[in-house]
Amino acid sequence: MRVFVTGAAGFIGTATTRELIANRHEVVGLARSDANVQTLEKLGAKIHRGALDDLESLRKGAEESDATIHLAFIHDFTKFAENGEIDRRAIEAMGKKLAGTDKPFIVTSGTLLVAPGRIATETDPVAPGLPRVSETAGLAFAARGVRAMAIRLPQVHDAGKCGLVNWLLEIAREKGVSAYIGDGQNRWSGAHRKDVARLYRLALENGKAGTSYHAVADEGVTMRDIAEIIGRHLNLPVASIPREQAGAHFGTMAMFAAMDGPASSALTRQWLGWKPAELGMIADISRPGFFGV
């Protein structure tokens, strides 16, 4: 298939592009800069110039392809609502061009906020009222003749990056202590970037309209374990802080740092035959020098 991929030059996008090309798909990657162009050319992808706020470029990319994978998102949490709106408009622009075609359209969401306090499953609805509405906006097109699907991501790790953990690392470096909230037993799920890329391909090839899939290898890693790993990397003390001090310490990350968001991928594995094969989250981020420190 000829697959239009937004975010193709990004952390998860490059792995997904490699996975698709290795399995005989043609990738057309959205490129907003010359650096993106160079990255995509090295991967063997075709180039489609544009950006998330260039709706005409998105419409054209989706219309001229056999499938669309939407990975791009502006991860600036100080402008979360604004960036969520940019994402919604981008999804609706592409989705409207795909209406009635039955083409695959995969949007990207997250597991952390699906069912706080318990293990989230693929059949749990996305939580209402969040600034990011990627899943709701994308899956709405399943009723309009599009094979619309969502992949919910955990903390994706590889090559020095691990989702929101990198933010916690920088906060620890700034504050001089690697902290967790309360007893630190709240959990985040995780998956290796290569396993995640494989799931995008499997969903593209065999996924069903209206379905949410979980790219989860580790159901739940505790925040205390994460804080201890960061402390070892930075040679900093590890400490618990009271919940009422979380805002002052973590800033815009406080809500996420306190979140208990484990997730299962049992149904995803059953439906698509996905089997994570790479290093687990703790083993990967514990490796000496993982974060370059």
Which domains, from first to last, does the chain contain? 2-157+191-218+263-276 (3.40.50.720), 159-187+220-257 (no CATH)
Per-residue pLDDT of the chain (293 residues; tens, 9 = 90+): 999 999 999 999 999 999 999 999 999 999 999 999 999 999 999 999 999 999 999 999 999 999 999 999 988 877 888 988 999 999 999 999 999 999 999 999 999 989 999 999 999 998 887 778 999 999 999 999 999 999 999 999 999 999 999 999 999 999 999 999 999 999 999 999 999 999 999 999 999 999 999 999 999 999 999 999 999 999 999 999 999 999 999 998 999 999 999 999 999 999 999 999 999 999 999 999 999 98
CB count within 10 Å of CB 237 equals 11
Separation of first and last alpha carbons in the chain: 41
pLDDT, position 128 = 82
Q: For residues 293 and 290, what is the distance between their CA atoms, to the nearest angstrom?
A: 7
* 3-class DSSP state of 40: helix
pLDDT, position 19 = 98
Q: Are 196 and 171 in contact (CB under 8 A)?
A: no
pLDDT, position 81 = 86
Within its chain, how far is the Cα of 233 from the centroid? 24
Q: For residues 120 and 153, what is the distance between their CA atoms, to the nearest angstrom?
A: 12
Q: Are 180 and 187 in contact (CB under 8 A)?
A: no
CB count within 10 Å of CB 12 equals 22
pLDDT, position 75 = 81
Query: What is the signed CA dihedral for 115, 123, 2, 57, rounded to 10 degrees?
Result: -50
Q: Are 262 and 119 in contact (CB under 8 A)?
A: yes
pLDDT, position 293 = 80
With b for 16 or more beta-carbon neighbours within 10 A and e for fewer, the 213-230 pattern comes to bbbbbbbbbbbbbbbbbb
pLDDT, position 148 = 98
Q: What is the DSSP letter of 278?
A: S
